[in-house]
Amino acid sequence: MAESLTNLKTYLKIEDASEDSLLSLLLSQADAKIIKKRYPFGATDEEKVLALTAYSDVELDIAVYLYSKRGAEGETSHNENGMNRGYESSGIPASYTNMIVPMCKVI
């Protein structure tokens, strides 16, 4: 996760460690979403590592989305001085996870 944290801080232009705890939490939430989507019936530790490696770009996108959305959680519409905001859903929009291919298992 160290590389992910570094990449996220670079993307967000955060140069110190003041928000490391928050950013690590957001990355953990992104990881959980990726693993749940990729392995809906559960995953081994090895499968989790493979998924997070394969979808590191999605992890970054989701973490940035969560960071940017802070303070406006659940907002469905907002208009002010020509600026319009609306969110696809109260959680992470499906468009962020559409490229993750679910892995099915035989029961």
Domain definitions of the chain by residue range: 2-96
Residue 45: the pLDDT is: 94
Distance CA 42, CA 33 (A): 12
CB 13 within 8 A of CB 76: no
- Which residues, in sequence order, are CB contacts of 96 under 8 Å at separation 6+? 58, 61, 62, 65
Give mean pLDDT, residues 12-33.
Answer: 95
| Count of alpha carbons within 13 angstroms of residue 106, beta-carbon side | 0
CB 6 within 8 A of CB 39: no
Is residue 35 scored above 90 in pLDDT? Answer: yes
Residue 77: the pLDDT is: 73
* Structure tokens that stand for 64 in this block: 């940035």
Q: What is the pLDDT of residues 36-93, one digit of tens each?
A: 999 999 899 999 999 999 999 999 999 999 998 886 666 667 777 887 777 666 678 8
